[in-house]
Structure 1
């Protein structure tokens, strides 16, 4: 179920003993946790609501509490953050006994305890016994990233609740500034609402003034400048990011990621995939695929693969110290710009 369905079920009194919130959309994760917290009346939360970060608290300490009765209330709620043992990278050895206790608990959970696990990971390790037990016992709440259309509707609805109207150009600007990242859009709402306190209106100018560009947006501009052999623009954009204390190696890594995405999207586009199907296959936010889809129409495959290979070699040289870290990207831009431009898209 999604967050809206979760809210409806709880309002209808359908409270499950175990919930597993999965997905990486942080704004929706927080909305789901807020809905679940409301199961416990506000005046009872001090005694009957607890939240544990499993990076700081051992799981066995939590398992000692799950069977405790609520204090003058109908339910106790326990929320677990960072249950890394549900993923392929999570360590099990040190907490194997506690994990086994959790699996046993899931066979017959306490009727007066609401156990919530927040698994904000791209995927869980379905092979693990504890994951299988959770999927069988828990009510699943999915918080997958919203599409651009869904994000637009949700943001308009959120602002409408605060009696704020955002015009079409303003919403376009917000989408562009956040690359349609719903969580980033939600984070910008308090500033936009404050701006609109007197007028009740938000336009593109307000968004541009109040919402900073994301780093990935700047990297996308750098890639476009590189592919157009616009040396001055690429170097200016790079130096601006260095002035913002961005690390050269991190920027090179992000550039590699963007070039890799462009190559993958170009291949998918020639194989008849839709943008949505490509985003699903690549497990990438649909808005990033949308931008890449527009770009690759004018780009030669050989240019993309050459730039990517040159970037990888540049990164290796920077890590080995044979090229100065700050100069590495500048040398790459100059060397790539010196190559003849290709116009054919076929490969």
Structure 2
């Protein structure tokens, strides 16, 4: 059961460990904890947050062991506990880990102590890590799978009193990308627009959702794959009108084709989409879309495109040709290559 589901049921623990690289999920869980533990009036007296890259842990523990000034509970958040990882701290802060171990074994009953660790992995060999994972409520906040991402989006819609159909979900992800902060903002806007009167549909998503540069480039590549060169050029010219830098546009095009090439190669070797996403450190939904686009290219075409991109990148850095024209020439050559 996710931590926030337990919070809705008022199932509070004395210790929480939030770790992973998905910053939005960690932030969201912190906010839910604050809302579950403290009233607005109690925040000034019973809430504390420490950065353990600047403050010794024993200082935070002294706060955790102090009785609440008003109310029944206090909330103390410990950010960046690098001592839970195999990394070496960049600063010279010395932490009294022995005192922390003693606290974890016998936490103050009136304090909710939260460890916020924005790291992909913790060092499971360390005694302190084992002890904390054994005694704390743990949430791993890493990249969501395609299924988890859609479930999370549905819950975001439901929290705003809205519903979204499956096709609209796919379209939202295709347009807005997989950044949770961006998706949460877009879902709030969509839910406000429908006001619970109707489901969120593909047309509504298309009308209201802001497109990221990456998603515009995905659409551009898709138009090339499907032989819609005129629409591909229209997307490019629109990006120039929006003052996007040609060198940045070319870099994002290169990233997309690199992902397509790598996805095709790894799929050929028998990797599944989830494995490919993990190996390439990208979201599974991006791999799913890249796999679909990869079917539109032969191995020879992809190899030639990678060479075209390398040459265009060199021209960007060394040629006197206007930078917008370099990208335009690349698109003409790409169109010619795809028509063979």
Q: 2:101 aligns with which of 96, 103, 107?
A: 107
5+ residue gaps, structure 1: 343-347
The 8 Å contact of residues 56 and 96 in structure 2, kept in 1 or not, is answered as no
Match of 1:60 among 43, 55, 59: 55
How is 1:1-347 mapped onto 2 (pairs within 5 angstroms)?
Answer: 2-4=2-4, 7=7, 11-16=10-15, 19-24=17-22, 26=24, 28-38=25-35, 40-42=37-39, 43-52=41-50, 54=51, 59-60=54-55, 64-68=59-63, 69-72=66-69, 73=71, 75-81=73-79, 92-93=89-90, 95-96=91-92, 98=93, 100-101=94-95, 103-109=97-103, 111-112=107-108, 113-121=111-119, 123-124=120-121, 126=123, 133-134=128-129, 136-138=131-133, 139=136, 140-179=138-177, 181-197=179-195, 199-226=197-224, 231-320=229-318, 322-339=320-337
Matched pairs, number:
329
SS of residue paired to 1:32: helix
In 2, are the aligned partners of 1:51 and 1:79 still within 8 Å (CA)? yes
Aligned-partner Cα distance in 2 for 1:63–1:320: 56
Measured after TM superposition, the shift of residue 232 of structure 1 is: 3.8
**Partner of residue 345, structure 1:** none
Within 2, Cα distance between the matches of 1:258 and 1:323? Answer: 24
1:261 Cα deviation after fit: 0.8
Shift of 1:120: 3.6
CA RMSD of aligned residues (A): 3.5
Runs of 5+ unmatched residues, structure 2: none
- In 2, distance between residues paired with 1:84 and 1:227? 46
By how many angstroms is 1:176 displaced? Answer: 2.8
Give the secondary-structure state (helix, strand or coil) at the position aligned to 2:142.
Answer: coil
1:178·1:214 contact (CA, 8 Å) conserved in 2? yes
Q: 1:284: Cα distance to partner?
A: 1.9
Deviation of 1:258 after TM superposition, in Å, equals 1.0
Give 3-state SS (helix, strand or coil) of 1:245's partner. coil
TM-score (norm 2): 0.79
SS in 1 for 2:37: coil
TM-superposition CA deviations, 1:278-335 (whole Å, max 9, x none): 2233232111111111111221122212212322332233234654333321232234
Q: Secondary structure at the match of 2:206?
A: helix
**How far, CA to CA, are the matches of 2:53 and 2:271 in structure 1?**
46
